[in-house]
């Protein structure tokens, strides 16, 4: 894939979901036109076996940590100087979700925002 030109800003976002983690890295030129540089999906099944008020499965946590590290590396390889992540359902519901989000953030030097159900629904609606 061709990389961005000098007059562009490259940013990336990760979606750490209950079933998969996704990456979108984009180059935005001086006119505001965006061009996708990299997109990826890794199935991690973070929410596997999660019960209301329960903890995340250790194997699912490990899979997700590895996937997020890989996706952040891909974003940086694409030239992203701005990378951030958001986490949804499983992290929001799990008793150890906030700790897991903080671990992801610290391990990857990337902010991780845990979205409320309402915010997640709003963003999904706007994306559709």
Per-residue pLDDT of the chain (128 residues; tens, 9 = 90+): 455 556 789 999 999 999 999 999 999 988 889 999 999 999 999 999 998 889 999 999 999 999 999 999 999 999 999 999 999 989 999 999 999 999 999 999 999 999 888 888 887 778 77
Output the six-digit token pair for 25: 């890295």
Angle CA 78–79–85, to nearest 5 = 80
pLDDT at 5: 53
The reply to whether the predicted model has a pTM over 0.95 is: no
Would you say 105 and 69 are in contact if contact means Cβ atoms under 8 Å apart? no
Q: Order across the sheet with 20-28: list the strands.
A: 34-43, 20-28, 9-16, 82-87, 112-114
């Amino acid at each position: 894939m061709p990389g961005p030109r000098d007059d562009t800003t490259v940013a990336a976002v990760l979606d750490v979901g209950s079933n998969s983690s996704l990456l979108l890295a984009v180059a935005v030129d001086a006119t505001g036109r965006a061009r996708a540089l990299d997109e990826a999906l890794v199935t991690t099944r973070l929410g596997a076996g999660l019960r209301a008020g329960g903890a995340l499965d250790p194997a699912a946590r490990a899979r997700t940590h590895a996937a997020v590290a890989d996706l952040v590396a891909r974003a940086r390889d694409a030239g992203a100087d701005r990378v951030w992540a958001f986490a949804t359902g499983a992290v929001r519901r799990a008793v150890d979700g906030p700790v897991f989000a903080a671990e992801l953030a610290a391990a990857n030097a990337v902010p991780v925002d845990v979205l409320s159900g309402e915010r997640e629904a709003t963003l999904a609606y706007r994306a559709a």
